[in-house]
């Protein structure tokens, strides 16, 4: 079976598939990145879609979360993998990893360290879902 992606999702999914050596589609688990909104998600309402977000949700949802954290002056931010819902960055959290915000950080250096945690967390979350560690969302 195939899955659809939007925008830069294809590149990220392809890179992760190379890194993990396996396809990122199995059964009803879809793993595209950057899908949001009720119109885009409605065809996938039966599926479990994972999203990586570069903050410790619920803090700093939306775009440029790393910059939001840096500008806000927090001392700790991080990465979150969550199930996607039609509400932006509000789905059930599967895994999180904290990242210290250093005094000499810029938004770019902070983003680079958060990205390292995203790359560590995403395969763990995929395994969690594929191994049955996540209860399927109810059918609508």
Active-site residues, by number, are 53
Tokens 């939007």 locate to 6
Q: Can you say whether residue 130 is alpha, beta or left, with left for phi > 0 and alpha for psi between -120 and 50 degrees?
A: alpha
Tokens 């109810």 locate to 138
Q: At residue 15, what are phi and psi to the nearest 5 degrees?
A: -65, -40
Separation between Cα atoms, residue 107 and residue 67, nearest integer Å: 5
């Amino acid at each position: 079976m195939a899955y659809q992606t939007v925008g830069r999702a294809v590149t990220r999914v392809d890179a992760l598939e190379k890194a993990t050596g396996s396809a990122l589609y199995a059964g009803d688990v879809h793993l595209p990145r950057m899908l949001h909104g009720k119109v885009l998600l409605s065809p996938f309402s039966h599926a479990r879609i994972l999203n990586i977000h570069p903050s410790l949700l619920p803090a700093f949802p939306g775009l440029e979360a790393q910059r939001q954290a840096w500008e806000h002056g927090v001392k700790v931010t991080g990465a979150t993998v969550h199930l996607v819902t039609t509400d932006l960055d509000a789905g059930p959290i599967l895994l999180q990893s904290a990242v210290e915000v250093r005094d000499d950080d810029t938004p770019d250096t902070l983003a680079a360290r958060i990205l390292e945690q995203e790359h560590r967390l995403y395969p763990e979350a995929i395994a969690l879902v594929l191994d049955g560690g996540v209860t399927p969302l109810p059918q609508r």
